[in-house]
Amino acid sequence: MRRIICRVAYDGTTYSGWQEQPTAVTIEGELNKALQSLTGEEIHVIGASRTDAGVHALGNICVFDTDSTIPPERFNKAMNVRLPADIRVVESGEVAADFHPRHQRTEKTYCYTIWNGDTENPLWNRYSMHRYGEMDLDGMELAGKHLVGTHDFKAFCSARTSAETTVRTIYDVTVQRSVEKPELIYIRVTGNGFLYNMVRIIAGTLVEIGAGLRNRESVLYALREKDRTLAGPTAPAKGLCLEEIRYPDAFFPTIRAKL
Amino acid sequence: MRRIICRVAYDGTTYSGWQEQPTAVTIEGELNKALQSLTGEEIHVIGASRTDAGVHALGNICVFDTDSTIPPERFNKAMNVRLPADIRVVESGEVAADFHPRHQRTEKTYCYTIWNGDTENPLWNRYSMHRYGEMDLDGMELAGKHLVGTHDFKAFCSARTSAETTVRTIYDVTVQRSVEKPELIYIRVTGNGFLYNMVRIIAGTLVEIGAGLRNRESVLYALREKDRTLAGPTAPAKGLCLEEIRYPDAFFPTIRAKL
């Protein structure tokens, strides 16, 4: 029996999120189905991040156990021929039998993409939220930096959370405009873990700050008061992408996929 | 009666091309339906470029005649609320009653996108062809420059063409790697008009040259012999996007959309 680790990329548009459900099509469900077809074993993958419906990923991580003799680094190709085109296993390898993708110190980076053109762009509609008008990117980034550190993020978390604690650590928040396609704005948030809807609420709040609808200090006030109504709206799922999960020991040193 | 001009962007993935068909969903058909719902008139738009099934556009052009009192520059927003999200009228305006989008001297720019990563990227799968391995971009561009000028492009044209002449003028061919996302390669071809499948055959040929499967001079040989079998394969429709159509008089000086 070996434990295999996979880096998984997907277009989440048509999926009901990561987590397997009896009556809905999910990323986890498709991976389990592909593995059963490949190995003949009943396999249930363990995911690092249970992304929401409509959220995308370039670097989600999962592990599973198998008796298959397929070489660990070849699982990705064998799985890909059995997966729909909008889910790809980017790479695979072997990890220690006791490695659990959620019981580890990690750094996760999410990217929230905004299409800042006058009109929606149909070629970015699946992967961004549309916001026209001038955006103050410096103000957005400065507000984002207020979130860096270890804080109680109760104000930036859906009431539907089941987390035991709402304390998390954010390592960095950056806001950048693409040089090649200046209509694209990327909000990147890196942390040790995120609460339910947390990145989307941060993005929604920063977008309001960028548009001049709220001031930068409102972020500090929301943090201090721990009041969800003091933060901005939850930005749409389609703009969110889980870019990367880094573990203390780098399993995949070679590939760092980017949107 | 006024003649309205529109710049149209679309994700062509799910459409049977531009041209209206009785039993298939097309871009032209959706535009006509939206205009009928908006004006109550039976309107048939005239498109500048009848793109193929699966081909995308950021700057296709169409015109139509209407008695509607909607201000010409507001047609785009009124149409967009009646169009599916993957078709957007980027802007609209009025032109002379005798302006025909195909009876004009134009410059059209098509962009062919290649995802040059080790593994397919599900977030680029709709808008690019996948090609792994090293690509010689300088060689591709040099081969592309052989096509610049006025030539008989019979070798770079599907046998299904209905064109009277296969002579066209190409103004420029460029091959660039994205700096921000180095897995993306853009082949841009600008000309006064293109034959059936012409840009896709040019792209397919340049990709083979970039991969070292054919030499640069094969382009000159194919041109001279006017033999389709001497050019490369037709690259998939999904990588192709009509970026821009420029007319001698710029109707839309303000917006230049880019993928």
pLDDT of the residue at B105: 84
Probe site for chain A from B119, B178, B186, B243 (most A CB atoms < 10 A): B119
In B, residues 77-96, which contact A (CB 8 Å cutoff)?
A: 80, 85-91
Say if residue B253's pLDDT is above 60: no
Cβ contact A234:A205 at 8 Å:
no
> B33: distance to nearest CA of chain A, Å?
19
Distance in angstroms (rounded) separating the CA atoms of residues A89 and B255:
39
* A138 is known as an active-site residue: no
B58 and chain A in contact, CB less than 8 A: yes
Confidence category of residue B156, pLDDT binned at 50, 70, 90: very high
> A166: distance to nearest CA of chain B, Å?
31
- Cα angle vertex A62, ends A57, A65, to 5°? 160
Nearest to B122 among A87, A123, A181 (CB): A87
Tell me whether residues A181 and B125 touch, CB distance under 8 A.
Answer: no
pLDDT of the residue at B252: 58
A27 and chain B in contact, CB less than 8 A: no
**DSSP alpha helix (H) spans, B55-136:** 75-80
Q: Which residues of A touch B257 (CB under 8 A)?
A: 117, 121
Cβ contact B222:B230 at 8 Å:
yes
pLDDT of the residue at A247: 86
pLDDT of the residue at A148: 98
Q: What share of chain A is helix, strand, coil (3-state, %, to 5)?
A: 25, 30, 45
Say if residue A256's pLDDT is above 60: no
Tell me whether residues A76 and B119 touch, CB distance under 8 A.
Answer: yes
Tell me whether residues B127 and A123 touch, CB distance under 8 A.
Answer: yes
pLDDT tens column, A161-189: 777 899 999 999 999 999 999 999 999 99
Tell me whether residues B85 and A120 touch, CB distance under 8 A.
Answer: yes
pLDDT of the residue at B161: 72
Interval A217-225 mean pLDDT? 96
Containing B127, the helix (H) or strand (E) segment is none
Q: Which residues of B touch A120 (CB under 8 A)?
A: 80, 85, 88
pLDDT tens column, A144-162: 999 999 999 999 998 877 7
pLDDT of the residue at A251: 60
B49 and chain A in contact, CB less than 8 A: no
Nearest to B181 among A86, A90, A258 (CB): A258
Least Cα distance to A225 among A234, A236, A217, A214 occurs for A217
Distance in angstroms (rounded) separating the CA atoms of residues B191 and A72:
49
Say if residue B256's pLDDT is above 50: no
For residue A152, give every residue at least 6 positions away whose Cβ sits within 8 Å of its Cβ, in sequence order, or none: A166, A167, A223, A226
Say if residue B235's pLDDT is above 90: yes
Tell me whether residues A121 and B257 touch, CB distance under 8 A.
Answer: yes
Tell me whether residues B123 and A259 touch, CB distance under 8 A.
Answer: yes
| pTM (two decimals) | 0.92
Confidence category of residue A250, pLDDT binned at 50, 70, 90: low
Q: Which residues of A touch B119 (CB under 8 A)?
A: 9, 76, 80, 88-91, 255
Q: Dihedral, CA atoms, B137, B139, B144, B146, nearest 10 degrees?
A: 160
Tell me whether residues A118 and B255 touch, CB distance under 8 A.
Answer: yes
Probe site for chain B from A83, A112, A119 (most B CB atoms < 10 A): A119
**DSSP alpha helix (H) spans, chain A:** 27-39, 75-80, 137-145, 198-210, 218-225
Per-chain mean pLDDT for chain B: 93
Tell me whether residues B123 and A87 touch, CB distance under 8 A.
Answer: no
Q: Which residues of A touch B183 (CB under 8 A)?
A: 258
Say if residue B258's pLDDT is above 90: no
> B185: distance to nearest CA of chain A, Å?
13
Say if residue A65's pLDDT is above 50: yes
Beta bridge partners of B50: none
Nearest to B11 among A90, A123, A179 (CB): A123
Q: Compute the Cα dihedral for B225, B228, B229, B231 and give only its sign.
A: positive
Tell me whether residues A119 and B88 touch, CB distance under 8 A.
Answer: yes
pLDDT of the residue at B164: 84
Nearest to B180 among A86, A88, A178 (CB): A178
- List the catalytic residue out of B11, B52, B86, B172: B52
pLDDT of the residue at B250: 62
pLDDT of the residue at A257: 33
Global ipTM: 0.89
Distance in angstroms (rounded) separating the CA atoms of residues B258 and B74:
22
Interval B228-255 mean pLDDT? 85
